[in-house]
Structure formats: structure tokens, C-alpha cells
Structure 1
Amino acid sequence: MKKIILISLMSLMLSTNVSADTDGENSLSKKNSGDVKDCFEGVNRATFKFNQVLDNIIFEPVAKAYRVLPSPIRTGTGNALDNLSNLVTIPNNVLQGEFTKAGVNTGRFIVNTTVGVIGIFDVAKKIGFPEYEKEDYGQTLGVMGVGTGCYIVLPVLGPSTVRDTVGSFANLLGGDVWYNVTVANNTQHFSDFDYYASRLGSGIDFRAKNIDSFENLEKNSMDFYASVRSLYLQDRQQKIANSNAIIETQNDSDWEEIENQ
């Protein structure tokens, strides 16, 4: 259990969903990020700098090495990791009353896990299943009306809020479900290494897709910390509202487009 938590924390840090469309003026950093208060800004800024050091020393170099791999390998890896994350998304669909989406994502998971070889090939998309949308327990708490609480920057984990931090612990329990479904009950096809590698690989895959965009954001920001805070909070608000509009942010598919340009 301890190893599971450690690997999950590293993955969460790497896959922090912060995205941006920046300009030289960096007007976003000057905008109010809703009603969320930065109650611990001094501590948050110090933690933010600490996380930047870790990223520069460890995570970014690993992500750059990952980008050297052939595109089909990276695409297959990303597909498989997205498929496995259904084990967190599906219960959150149910908790949010989105039973149709829960059924669709269950169908996607079954098709891709079997015909798609553990999700390496997104067969479900090819046969007409709707695009996959991730859900997590932080989003579910938001849909249920739980307030965000103060903005927090967690060591290693990165940007969060009080509500999302609580949700992250539930996401870790979702990781235990993944472990029980695969490693514990189906050792013919999975091993402990597969589980741990998937958690870490998810973060590396996302970080590799966003290297250029993160660098551009930092370069064009008058206050990098404020930009990340604003964009993170906007992104979370969009996800909770299930909004398809892009409000000065971009989702994972947009990052793919940037990478392929």
C-alpha cells in the first residue's frame, strides 16, 4: 500500500492539469480566478519554487527522453493509460448521476481492454463511441456543491484546492481498485510492475506532451505562479461544469494538437 501511494503521488504531480494560451502581456495573471482565495500565498509560492526545482532536475529530463520514443509507442502508451483511468472515471459518472456516460465509458473500457489489447488501440473510438472525458472525485465533490476552499500548492503534487486535495485521496483508493482488478485477480496478464509503471507513466506521458507549452507559459509570464494558479482554477471550473468552451485554457486534446504542429 505504501508503494502504491508513493507512485500515485508522483503521477499526480506530473499530471497536474494546467494549460494555457499565453501572450506577451500575460493578462491572465492579472485576472481574478473566481472566488477561490489564496489563503497561504507565501507558503504556496515557496512550495511552487520547490516543485519547479524537482521538475527541472527529475521530471522534465525524463519526459524529454520519453518524447524520443517513436510516435506509435507514445500514442499506444497514452491510450492504454487513458483506458485504465476509466476505473476512476466510471464511478464518478455514477456519483454525478451521469448514467449514460457511465454506460458509454464502461463499454469503451470493455472494448479497448479486450479487442484493443489493454487499451493500446482505441478501438472504441473507431467503432463510434463518443470521445472519452475524464472525471475524478474532486469534480464530483464540486458537482455536489462542496466549496473549493483555499488554493493550495502541495509539495510534489502541485496546484490544488482543499476540495481537490480531499478528492485526491479518493482517487488513490481508485488506484487500489485498479490494483485489485488487475494484479490481485488476474496475475496471468498483469504484474506489480505493470501497476506501478502505469501510475508513473501516466504523469510522464502528460508531461512529455506539454513540455513546449509549459516552457512558453513560463517564458511569457510576468508572474508564473499567478498564471499557473489562474489557469488551474479556470480549468477545474470548466471540468466541474462539463463545459466544452475553451476559456483561455486548453484541454488534453488541444495539447496533442500543439505537440503535432
Structure 2
Amino acid sequence: MRYNYNFSFIFYVICILGLVIIQPVSAAADEPVDFLSDDFYEDEPADIEVNDPIEPFNRAMFQFNDKTYTYIFNPVAEGYSAVVPIDIRAIIDNFFRNLEEPVRFVNCLLQGRFVDAGSVFVRFLSNSTIGVGGLVDFADRELGFEPIDATLGETLGAWGIGDGFYLVVPFFGSSTLRDFTGTIIDGLALTPYYTYIDNWSVKTGIYAGKTTNELSLHLGEYEDLKKLSFDPYVALRNGYFQYRKKIRDHRVILEGE
């Protein structure tokens, strides 16, 4: 996503850490992750190692993302939500999520999650046909196949590649060196509307529309998160690592069943 990709990632500013828009534990956990609980954003998680050797740089990027979101992207999303009904925005969200199912399918295979890969395949096939090109999540609503997340960052981790250090990326938010690398490759090499569309302006427009739509579905969440801690940078950084740990722990439980 060089060239225009940064603008394409505008939605992820709401996360500032890449967690608010992600489906909690792939929407498959018995109990959803509560991102707005005080315990989830505790300032000193006892069981999680936080590797943040470039904290001054990361704090500067956090402030940049915070101001950009507050004064540019959030007002745009608010205006968008005011004119586009929630039902239409949900349909648009379904459509784009369905387009990205092949990315999840490939990563599930690469991680050896063959049952999940089968579920993703069924979701993509049924939603692309009966679900009218993914406009309706027929697989979840009628067949019970809930959304599943799988990223290249997770794939690299499954192959034994370490997280690397914590990194706050302009216009993207919280990540690690490994996960951000995976995100770039997921988007550039695998996502259909980047793979098959040559015009960068069109690609940017599509992604900007997608991410603005998603942001409109989560208005106010980032502001609520900031209120939970004396130091939002530390709280969101720790929340990012706790979220990733909850995903890993949940999958270990599922694999043991």
C-alpha cells in the first residue's frame, strides 16, 4: 500500500491501536471481549510482556493519529453517518468483509486451521451467491457459520516468527513489526480490490469509502476508550496486547475441545 495506501487506511485511525473495529475473538467466543471495561485497559497487565523500545517515537505517532482522527476523520464519518442509513452501512460492511474472505481462507490454510478454512470457504460461497454478492451475511444468519478472522501476522506467528517491537504507525495505529508487515502484504497481495484493480486512484477511493463506512459504525468508541485511563497511550498499548492474547488463548481452548 505504498503511494496512496496511507490515505486508504484512514478508518484504522479510530482504533489507534487496531482493535476497535476487529470482531471480538472472531465473533466466536462464548463471551465477547469487552473493550470498554476498566479491567481490559488496566495500566500494568501482569501476564503480558510489552516490548516498546521506541516509546518516544510511538507516543509522537499516537498524538498525530489522535489529532488526525479527532479533527478530520471523525467529522467526516459523522457527516457520512448522518446521510447514509444504518441498514445501508451494514450492507456495505457485509459486502467488503465478504470480498476479504479469500485472504482469511489463505491464512487459515497457512496456519493449519483447516476447519476454520472450511468455514471461511462456506461463508464466501454462500454469501457470494445466496447472500447476493455478500450484501447479506447469509452464512451467519441462516447457516450458523460465524465470521472468522485470520491475518498474515498471525500466520507468521504460527510459523515461529516473533512479534518484534511495538509500533504505532501514522494513519494505522498500534501494531507490531510483524503484524504490520503482515497487514501490508494482506492488503497489497491478497485483497481482491488491490490485486485486480490497476488504477491507484480507484483503489484508494474504494478503500477510503470502505474504511469511512466502518468508522461510521463505531462512532464514539475511541472517545470512550480515552476516558478509561489517565494515560491513553499506555492503556491502548496494553489493550492491544491483551486483545491479541485473548485471541490466542481462545483459539487454544477451541483446539483443545
Aligned residue pairs: how many? 237
What's the secondary structure of 1:153's corresponding residue?
Answer: strand
8 Å CA contact 1:150, 1:162 repeated in 2: yes
Correspondent of 1:30 among 33, 44, 54: 44
Amino acid at match of 2:94: N
Q: How far 1:48 sits from its partner (Å)?
A: 0.4
Matched, 1:43 2:57: yes
Q: Which moved more, 1:147-156 or 1:168-177?
A: 168-177
1:143–1:240 CA contact under 8 A, matched in 2: no
* CA distance in 2: counterparts of 1:26 and 1:105, whole angstroms: 29
Aligned to 1:255: none
CA distance in 2 between counterparts of 1:32 and 1:115 reads 47
1:66 aligns with 2:74: no
The one of 225, 232, 256 equivalent to 2:240 is: 232
State which drifts further: 11-20 or 78-87.
11-20
Q: Is the aligned partner of 1:17 residue 2:25?
A: no
Give the corresponding residue for 1:156. 171
Percent identity, please. 30
Residues 1:115 and 1:52: Cα distance change in structure 2 (over 3 Å): same
**CA positional deviation for 1:170:** 1.5
CA contact (8 A) 2:78 2:216 kept: yes
Distance in 1 between residues matched to 2:231 and 2:212, nearest whole Å: 25
Code of the residue aligned with 1:51 in structure 2: it is: N
Distance 1:13 1:154, change over 3 A: same
Equivalent pair of 1:51/1:158 in contact (CA under 8 Å): yes
Secondary structure at 1:30 match in 2: coil
For the 8 Å contact 1:152–1:160, the answer to whether it is kept is: yes
Q: Residues of 1 paired with 2:209 and 2:250: CA distance?
A: 26
Deviations 1:61-101 (CA, angstroms, capped at 9, x unpaired): 12212322212101101111211121211100100111222
Shift of residue 233, structure 1, vs aligned partner: 1.1
Q: Give unmatched runs, 5+ long, in structure 1.
A: 185-190, 246-261
Q: Is the 8 A contact 2:9 2:211 kept in 1?
A: no
TM-score of the superposed pair, with normalisation by structure 1: 0.78
Residues 13 and 203 of structure 1 are in contact (CA less than 8 Å); yes or no, is this contact kept in structure 2?
no
Deviation for aligned residue 1:204: 2.2
Contact 1:148–1:161 (Cα < 8 Å) also in 2 = yes
Pick closer, same or farther for the CA change 1:238–1:220 going to 2, 3 Å. Answer: closer
Match of 1:214 among 207, 222, 230: 222
Contact 1:7 1:200 (C-alpha < 8 Å) held by counterparts: yes
String of CA shifts for 1:202-258, please: whole Å, max 9, x gaps.
32233223322211111232000011101111112233444499xxxxxxxxxxxxx
Tell me how far apart the structure 1 counterparts of residues 78 and 194 of structure 2 sit (CA, whole Å). 28
Q: Map of 1:41-120 to 2, 5 A cutoff?
A: 41-68=55-82, 69-120=84-135
**Counterpart AA for 2:231:** D
| Aligned-CA RMSD value | 2.9
The letter for the 2-side match of 1:225 is: Y
1:110-164 Cα shifts (integer Å, max 9, x gaps): 2212222221111222331410111111111222222111111111111111111
- The worse-fitting range, judged by mean Cα deviation, of 103-112 and 43-52 is 103-112
User: Do the aligned partners of 2:153 and 2:183 also contact (CA within 8 Å) in 1?
Assistant: yes
Residue in structure 2 matched with residue 143 of structure 1 by the alignment: 158
Between 199-208 and 105-114, the greater mean CA deviation after superposition:
199-208
Q: Which SS does the other structure have where 1:21 is aligned?
A: coil
Change (3 A) 1:177 1:212: closer
